[in-house]
Amino acid sequence: MKIVLGIETSCDETAASVVREDGTILSNLVLSQLEEHAAFGGVVPEIAARAHLEHLDTLIKAAIHDADIQFSDLSAVAATSGPGLIGGVMVGMVAGKAIAAAHNLPFIGVNHLEGHVLTARLAEKVTFPYLVLLVSGGHTQILIAEDVGKYKRLGTTLDDALGECFDKSAKLMGLGYPGGPNLEKIAAKCTDSKTARERFALPLPMHGRAGCDFSFSGLKTAVRNAIEALPAGDLQEKDIAALACAFQHSVGDILKDRCQNAMNSFQQYYPQNDTQTNALPAFVVCGGVAANQHIRTILKDLTRKAEMDFMAPPLTLCSDNAAMIAWTGLERLNKGLTDPLDIAARPRWPLDPTAEKKLGAGVKA
């Protein structure tokens, strides 16, 4: 059975993992650089690249050791080749290419987004085609996964990514980095969401419009205005809890509206369910923000009503990791999609090259 080493260095996680063709994760190591970046309230590209360089070799050795294999047992090496912070991506690619060259193995340059999208097939053997909501710190997209390497983008953000909106709003609320999980925690302290929403009437950008695009910068600005309107002095926990709760509910409403449109489109493209297995088509939510319980609950309910099958990978596979890169390597290897050793890193790399470019979204589209 084939075995692939995966390397992920596109943002602030240094990760290495070994995955077998049957979906068994033999090792999965993630080293977070949270502490290095916390003082700056966000990821600093230069610090990230240096930290990857410092830790990657040891981490790869440990991943091979934990998997109880030798480099010579590998069938291929896969490394994230974009999109992401170019310095970090290059560190991971150079390491991956060197191992591939030294052991005479095929190299696979993986699109980080494809890694997130194909995780559904690693975790639960989801079959093509399926609908995906990818919500992370860097990306917010809705895609139809048609096959390995074949994606149709139905929607993307026109400005901030959802995770970024969580992080920036949390920062305004005085919560530590990364903001998403902290915002969710404090929102849980609010017991009356209806009153919270009436008190902080937050906007629902793009809600009710045709299509599946998102916009989150207005929501973040509304959070800033709401905080500035609070009584002067230290922020009170109960006020922040209510605001965080109102924020999460607004996000939930936006996602529900956008995903409903996406489900309608999916059903137009693929009117018939899988008649061979009678399986319902899957709706997959992935990326770091998929860890949010409120969001999961809302989307699960929506999926059930649309007669689709809800799937969210386990939390360790939702946030950035290298198992998803190794798995994508396996999927591509099985299709003969390997890359030459001079393949370049790509800071921007849309999964659907035919999708319309959106001004303002930049790398996020």
Q: Does 83 bind ligand KG4 (CB under 6 A)?
A: no
CA proximity to 38, closest of 48, 24, 29: 48
Q: Does residue 345 sit in helix, strand or coil?
A: coil
Dihedral sign computed on CA atoms, order 68, 26, 114, 49? negative
Residue whose tokens read 């690249």: 49
CA proximity to 364, closest of 254, 248, 220, 214: 214
Least Å from the CB of residue 122 to Zn ion: 15
Q: Does 292 bind ligand KG4 (CB under 6 A)?
A: yes
Q: What share of the chain is helix, strand, coil (3-state, %, to 5)?
A: 45, 20, 35
Among the listed ranges 102-110, 120-128, 197-205, 285-293, the one in contact with ligand KG4 (CB under 6 A) is 285-293
Residue of 27, 119, 265, 319 that binds ligand KG4 (CB under 6 A): 319
Q: Does residue 352 sit in helix, strand or coil?
A: coil
Residue of 8, 167, 320, 339 that binds Zn ion (CB under 5 A): 320
Residue of 9, 136, 141, 248 that binds Zn ion (CB under 5 A): 136
DSSP 191: -
| Interface of this chain with ligand KG4, residues 4 to 23, rule: CB under 6 A | 11
Query: For Zn ion, what does the binding mask look like between residues 1 and 30, x meaning CB under 5 A?
Result: ------------------------------
Binding-site size for ligand KG4 (CB under 6 A) equals 19
Binding-site size for Zn ion (CB under 5 A) equals 2
Nearer to ligand KG4, 11 or 306 (CB): 11
Least Å from the CB of residue 239 to ligand KG4: 20
Give DSSP secondary structure letters for 256-316.
Answer: HHHHHHHHHHHHHH--S-BTTTTBPPEEEEESGGGG-HHHHHHHHHHHHHTT-EEE---HH
Residues forming the site for ligand KG4 (CB under 6 A)? 11, 136-138, 163, 166-167, 178-181, 184, 287-289, 291-292, 319-320
